[in-house]
């Protein structure tokens, strides 16, 4: 018996609730596949939501999160902007291939620079591959008291020292969002990269409610480090972080934060901790390995239309070194204003 045909069409507002419900149950879905993520992007950055949905006999059987994202040299189709995961998901491999093929067709028709699929698994598609990034996901113990013992010896000693000698504490609350914004912006400035607007953090908190949480590490009343995380199914995903100058050197704030975050997750019945994406040659990659996490390759895929090569904004790119050096020397207030403008073009 021949299976009924699959119809692929653009997401309609009237279908968002049913598509969102399907995403929540789909095995391959991530937090960033949620329609609400691209609605947040649309609201803050103005990127057009162009999600594709696969239907069979009136039922959702697949979707591809997609936004038309402006860039400094023209628009691209990205799945999913400001996210580390994306790509097609479906009830079958064939449906995922059809979704990707439709996205390629749209990219060619609209003459964007490229189609970019930030896939978690290798999609096996006939697209240009990039294995520049890895992610770090770890199962959590069943008892918060077991978290410290699960951390490698050196990192465990630093985390214990932060708690016992420096008396660092962890707390959570939406009211820490301004501190997160300030610390995140300063960290990005020092790296020579634009930050994100305050409105973005506020939108995420407003849109996702209890599934978006901000944690702060304090030394007495001094804020040392803030992290915004997302709760997705049984996983806590630590996503945006900002650290005060000297906080790691003097107090091992990061070692403490990521130990305490895992304890917090276990206390709430979560089973996994997602440490997020890192570039393979970056310091953050090594830090996560030292925390006991095993890297897992991310399989980003590209279809180049007007572009002739893959985008490269990495620190090793000599073409951007002068810009990065100048950015890191800007006053904070100038950096903040320019970041508000440029962030729209750097998804």
Q: What is the pLDDT of residues 28-67, one digit of tens each?
A: 999 999 999 999 999 999 999 999 999 999 999 999 999 9
The pLDDT, as a whole number, for residue 123 is 85
287 located within any domain: no
Same domain membership, residue 150 and residue 44:
no
pTM (predicted TM-score) = 0.94
Domain CATH for 240? 3.40.630.30
Band the pLDDT of 322: cuts 50, 70, 90. confident
Q: Are residues 121 and 175 in the same domain?
A: no
Query: How far is it, in rounded angstroms, from Cα 204 to Cα 183?
Result: 17
The verdict on residue 250 lying in a domain is yes
Q: Domain count of the chain? A: 2
169 and 85 in one domain?
no
Cβ burial, residue 325 (10 Å; 0-12/13-18/19+)? exposed
Contact criterion met (CB below 8 Å) for 108 and 115? no
Confidence of residue 302 (pLDDT cuts 50, 70, 90): very high
C-beta of residue 226 within 8 angstroms of C-beta of residue 206: no
Averaged pLDDT score across all residues of the chain: 95
175 and 265 in a single domain? The answer is: yes
276: in domain: no
What's the confidence (pLDDT) of residue 43?
A: 98
CA distance 334 to 58: 51
Kindly state whether residues 51 and 129 are assigned to the same domain: yes
156 lies in the same domain as 240 = yes
Higher pLDDT, 73 or 205: 205
Residues 145 and 265 in one domain: yes
Does the structure show a pLDDT above 80 at 315?
A: no
In this prediction, residues 253-263 reach a mean pLDDT of 98
pLDDT for 331 equals: 87
* Residue 323 belongs to some domain of the structure: no
DSSP 8-state symbol, 104: H
Residue 320 inside a domain? The answer is no
Per-residue pLDDT band at 96 (split at 50, 70, 90): very high
- Residue 275 inside a domain? The answer is no
Distance CA 108, CA 304 (A): 9
Angle (CA) 167-172-176 rounded to 5° is 100
Query: How does pLDDT run across 209-248, given as a tens digit for each residue?
Result: 999 999 999 999 999 999 999 999 999 999 999 999 999 9
Number of Cβ within a 10 Å radius of residue 131: 11
Look up the domain containing 49 and give its range: 7-133+299-309
pLDDT digits (tens, 9 = 90+) for 267-278: 999 999 999 999
102 assigned to some structural domain: yes
């Amino acid at each position: 018996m021949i299976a009924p045909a699959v119809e692929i069409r653009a997401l309609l507002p009237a279908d968002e609730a049913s598509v969102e419900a399907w995403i929540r149950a789909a095995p391959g879905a991530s937090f960033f596949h949620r329609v609400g993520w691209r609605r947040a992007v649309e609201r803050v950055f103005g990127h057009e939501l162009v999600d594709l949905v696969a239907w069979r006999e009136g039922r959702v059987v697949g979707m591809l999160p997609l936004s038309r994202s402006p860039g400094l040299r023209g628009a691209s189709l990205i799945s999913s902007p400001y996210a580390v995961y994306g790509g097609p998901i479906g009830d079958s491999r064939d449906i995922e291939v059809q979704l990707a093929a439709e996205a390629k067709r749209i990219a060619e028709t609209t003459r964007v620079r490229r189609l970019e699929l930030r896939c978690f698994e290798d999609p096996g598609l006939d697209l240009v591959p990039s294995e520049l990034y890895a992610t770090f996901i770890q199962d959590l113990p069943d008892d918060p008291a077991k978290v410290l013992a699960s951390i490698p010896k050196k990192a465990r000693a630093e985390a214990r020292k932060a708690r016992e000698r420096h008396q660092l504490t962890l707390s959570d609350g939406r009211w820490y969002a301004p501190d997160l914004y300030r610390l995140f912006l300063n960290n990005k400035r020092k790296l020579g990269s634009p930050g994100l607007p305050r409105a973005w953090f506020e939108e995420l908190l407003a849109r996702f409610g209890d599934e978006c949480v901000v944690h702060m590490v304090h030394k007495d009343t001094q804020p040392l480090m803030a992290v915004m995380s997302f709760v997705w199914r049984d996983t806590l995903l630590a996503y945006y972080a900002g650290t005060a100058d000297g906080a790691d050197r003097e107090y091992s704030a990061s070692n403490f934060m990521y130990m305490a975050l895992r304890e917090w997750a276990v206390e709430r019945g979560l089973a996994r901790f997602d440490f997020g994406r890192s570039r393979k040659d970056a310091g953050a990659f090594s830090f996560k390995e030292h925390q006991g996490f095993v890297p897992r390759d991310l399989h980003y895929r590209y279809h180049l239309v007007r572009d002739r090569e893959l985008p490269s904004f990495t620190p090793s790119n000599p073409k951007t070194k002068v810009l990065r050096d100048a950015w890191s020397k800007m006053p904070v207030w100038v950096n903040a204003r320019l970041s508000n403008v440029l962030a729209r073009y750097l998804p």
